[in-house]
Structure 1
Amino acid sequence: MPIKLENVGVTVHDLEAAISFFTDLGLTVIGRDTVSGEWTDTAVGLDGNHAKIAMLQTPDGHGRLELFEYIHPQAIDTEPTRPHEIGMHRVAFSVDDIDKALEVAAKHGCHPLRGVANYEDIYKLTYLRGPSGILVMLAEEVKKN
């Protein structure tokens, strides 16, 4: 059975702030909507599900990120996940210039958790907290294979 990754979905406090962050990094909004009704209750498994959503896409057209801002039920704050916790904990992006990407992130108040690492002179990479505490990994390939 063929399978492909459709998108990664992330719930955020402020949809506009999250869109601004990710579009400044280079993603493009390819759709927006407000969804509710029986079909969303069934699909998501929440009664009274009502959310504002936006679908963003990477410039290469392969990666998609779906952002949700819940109107109902009210979003539940949780502690931000840490890299070693079980479950989905980050979304990762390849960038051409990690320093420039970090300048963009800093304009949104987002900074590396510790710094930028060099992995065997192949990648420079870092984790940062994006909108709503989302862990975002940025990686620049410095040695082309």
Structure 2
Amino acid sequence: MAIRLENVGIAVRDLEATISFFTDLGLEVLGRDRVSGEWADTAVGLDGNHADIAMLQTPDGHGRLELFQYIHPEAIETQPTLPHEIGMHRVAFSVDDIDKALETAAKHGCRPLRGVATYQDTYKLAYVRGPSGIIVMLAEELRKG
């Protein structure tokens, strides 16, 4: 059986703000839609499921995020996850300039949880709390080439 990762889906509080954050980091919007109907109820497991969605893709075409903002049922606010909690944890991106990526994130009010760390002289890493509390890991490879 062949398998590949299609996308990571993330429910967000403000679709436009979240699209702006990720497109400023370099992702591209592939498409947008409003979904509802029996097929959506069945697939998602929610009666009356109705959401605005956007599919974003990394410039290399290998990574996709599906962002969705619920219209119905009403979205439930939860506390943002902590780095040590079980469950969906974070989305990670390789960047060619972590300082520039952090400047871009800061323009959206998003800053590292603690700072920038270096892992074994291989990566500079930072966890950023993004829109809707999403943890976004940014990683710059130090040994390029």
Q: TM-score, normalised by structure 1?
A: 0.98
Separation (CA, whole Å) in 2 of partners of 1:118 and 1:28: 28
SS in 2 for 1:21: helix
Moved over 3 A (4+): none
- In the TM superposition, 1:20-31 aligns within 5 A as 20-31=20-31
Separation (CA, whole Å) in 2 of partners of 1:89 and 1:12: 15
Listed as ranges, the gaps of 5+ residues in structure 2 are: none
CA contact (8 A) 1:122 1:144 kept: no
Corresponding residue for 1:7? 7
SS in 1 for 2:80: coil
Corresponding residue for 1:125? 125
CA contact (8 A) 1:122 1:143 kept: yes
SS in 1 for 2:102: helix
Corresponding residue for 1:61? 61
| Superposition RMSD in Å | 0.7
Deviations along 1:57-112, whole A, 9 cap, x unmatched? 00000000000000000110111111111111100000000000000000000000
Task: Count residues in correspondence.
Answer: 145
The Cα of 1:120 is off from its aligned counterpart by: 1.1
Q: Percent of aligned pairs with the same residue?
A: 81
Corresponding residue for 2:46? 46
SS in 2 for 1:144: coil
SS in 2 for 1:54: strand
Separation (CA, whole Å) in 1 of partners of 2:42 and 2:27: 29
| Counterpart AA for 2:72 | H
Corresponding residue for 2:108? 108
State whether structure 2 residue 88 is matched by structure 1 residue 88. Answer: yes
Q: TM-score, normalised by structure 2?
A: 0.98
| Counterpart AA for 1:20 | S
